[in-house]
Structure 1
Amino acid sequence: MEHNINKHISGKFNEELENVRNQVLSMGGLVEQQLNSALDAVAKGDSELAKKVKENDYRVNAMEVNIDEECTRIIAKRQPAASDLRLVVAIAKTIADLERIGDEAERIAKVALDSFTKDQQGLLANIENMGRLVSKMLHDVLDAFARMDAQKAFEVHKADERVDREYEALTRQIMTYMMEDPRSIPRVMELIWSVRSLERIGDRCQNISEYVIYFVKGKDIRHVSQDMIAKTI
């Protein structure tokens, strides 16, 4: 009888963990949609799409609150140990980064509410290219989370180096443009902020990749070199 009860509790616990993991994936899907919509809005100068991104941010925030409450409840009720606790911790940290990615997507969308000259359109095109790189990082890290794939997570972790290089190059390009045409500074500053937002999203994706590796391998690899991470994988 006791064995059956324990089995029932364990089964119920697994169901709760699976449910909260699925909620994270739903939240990730919404955040990915928000980022892609923001990038599309900037590329097309679509102010209506940009407004929709801004309006939908509350949904991302609400999902974070609900999942966080569920994680707190699971810890209090189940007192998980070992890998189960690592999963709950990884989930709690992941949703915090996803919420911040949602905030950055909203900031990027604001660029679409401004009008830019023909010369400035070239800068927008370069921002879109960087945006697609970051969007792929987000897609891949969510895939790594869904499958708890440490190797895939490591590939995302390494991809952030390319995003950082793009960020530096684009920032220099925009600064040069502003020096050549000081009158453009107020408007072009918005582009600087959007590039910064993309760089931050890359960092957030890298964070999530670290949580996946932490769950799978049981090792905290924050502030560790790529070579050391490779040995962990």
Structure 2
Amino acid sequence: MDMNFNQHISGQFNADLEAIRNHMMGMGGLVERQVANAIDAICSGDTSSADDIIRREDEVDKMEVNIDQECTQILVRRQPAASDLRMVLAVSRVVRDLERIGDEACKIAIHALEVADKGRSEICQQAIRYMGQEVTKMISGALDAFARHDVDGAIEVVRNDKLVDNQYAAALRELMTYMMEDPRSISQGINILWILRAIERIGDHARNISEQVIYLVSGEDVRHSSLTEMEEQAQKD
């Protein structure tokens, strides 16, 4: 086979890999903004952005489908091996989690509208603000770690997920106390419960993205591993 043709094929393959990575990062940037705007809507009481968040969920869904199709085409046409195969599989898995983050941002926006309709609520506002800021940083950190092939950065996101889980548990206790002490708060409390749950799930999905960074770099599937096991794997690498 002609050397120039080989180089062309290789160059096109690298361009295809770069394209799916860039498209994934673009999708990540959108869902990160969706989450930040949804958190701001519930914390500020200004729900003007909520309708836009809900409307753009379809855009996130279409991104997932398109990127997944690109990944499938690469697998069929290029039959990648080793690290190239890991890149395609990791991107395909990450966009699935990004789509779910978009779903959770939409849920927060919907419940923010319901909270606003019933009057401003101060229930668990501090917890929502803290958790919201943390999971937004986790999304950014996970995507940055993916772009940089940074295992240490990915593990830091996993550590932060533990902090969010702890805050979530504390917020649930606070919420239950509110609702037991004042039955009139139950209706609002249920909306707050779903918001807290959505934020906690966003943290889980950011952790999942970080796990794909470790897979991408080392080839180790750590999806059901503990933080300690991930740290040990990083030391081996």
TM band (smaller chain): over 0.9
Match of 1:187 in 2: 188
Match of 1:101 in 2: 101
Q: Is the 8 A contact 1:39 1:128 kept in 2?
A: yes
- Unaligned segments of structure 2, at least 5 residues: none
1:25 maps to amino acid: M
- The Cα offsets for residues 66-106 of structure 1, whole Å up to 9 and x where unpaired, read as 10110011101111111111100000000000000000001
- The Cα offsets for residues 135-170 of structure 1, whole Å up to 9 and x where unpaired, read as 111111111111121111111111110000000000
Match of 1:112 in 2: 112
What is the CA–CA distance in structure 2 between the aligned matches of 1:79 and 1:117, rounded to whole Å? 56
Distance apart, 1:224 and its partner CA: 1.7
Match of 2:148 in 1: 147
CA RMSD of aligned residues (A): 1.3
Aligned residues: 232
1:64 aligns with 2:64: yes
Match of 1:232 in 2: 233
Distance apart, 1:227 and its partner CA: 2.2
What is the CA–CA distance in structure 2 between the aligned matches of 1:222 and 1:82, rounded to whole Å? 19
What is the CA–CA distance in structure 2 between the aligned matches of 1:125 and 1:54, rounded to whole Å? 24
Q: What's the % identity of the aligned pairs? A: 49
Match of 2:129 in 1: 128
What's the TM-score, normalizing by structure 1? 0.95
Q: Which moved more, 1:18-27 or 1:50-59?
A: 50-59
Match of 1:16 in 2: 16
Distance apart, 1:126 and its partner CA: 2.4
What's the TM-score, normalizing by structure 2? 0.94
- The Cα offsets for residues 163-216 of structure 1, whole Å up to 9 and x where unpaired, read as 000000001100110111112212210100110011111110110000010010
Distance apart, 1:117 and its partner CA: 5.6
1:210 maps to amino acid: E
Q: Is the 8 A contact 2:123 2:178 kept in 1?
A: no
Q: Is the 8 A contact 1:20 1:70 kept in 2?
A: yes
SS at match of 1:48: coil
Q: Is the 8 A contact 2:123 2:192 kept in 1?
A: no
